[in-house]
Amino acid sequence: MTESPFRPREVLLEKQKHFQSIRKHTYLKGPYDKVTSVAIPLALAATSLFMIGRGVYNMSNGVGKKE
């Protein structure tokens, strides 16, 4: 007992050929795409590197250590 697919195979192949024939890049089109896919990851990476560096500095110098 097999279940029929959601879309016919011919339609999927047609759409696949269409999208594979496009030569332009389809990413980073609008101004908000640049914010969500470039600025936010860069900000997260910079913040995490800063926090890791600060933690290493504090551990190596004994900052915040209870005596």
For residue 28, is it left (φ>0), alpha (ψ between -120 and 50) or beta? left
Q: What is the pTM of this model?
A: 0.52
4 occurs within a structural domain: no
φ and ψ of 4, to 5 deg:
-75, 145
Distance CA 54, CA 34 (A): 29
3 occurs within a structural domain: no
18-28 mean pLDDT: 78
Look at the chain and report how many structural domains it folds into: 1
Range of the domain at 48: 9-61
pLDDT of residue 50: 97
Pair of tokens at residue 27: 């990413």
Better-scored residue on pLDDT, 10 or 24:
10
Confidence of residue 1 (pLDDT cuts 50, 70, 90): low
The HSE-up count of residue 36 (CA atoms within 13 Å, CB side) is: 7
47 occurs within a structural domain: yes
22 occurs within a structural domain: yes
What average pLDDT does the chain have? Answer: 86
pLDDT of residue 47: 97
pLDDT of residue 8: 83
Biggest distance spanned by C-alpha atoms of the chain: 73
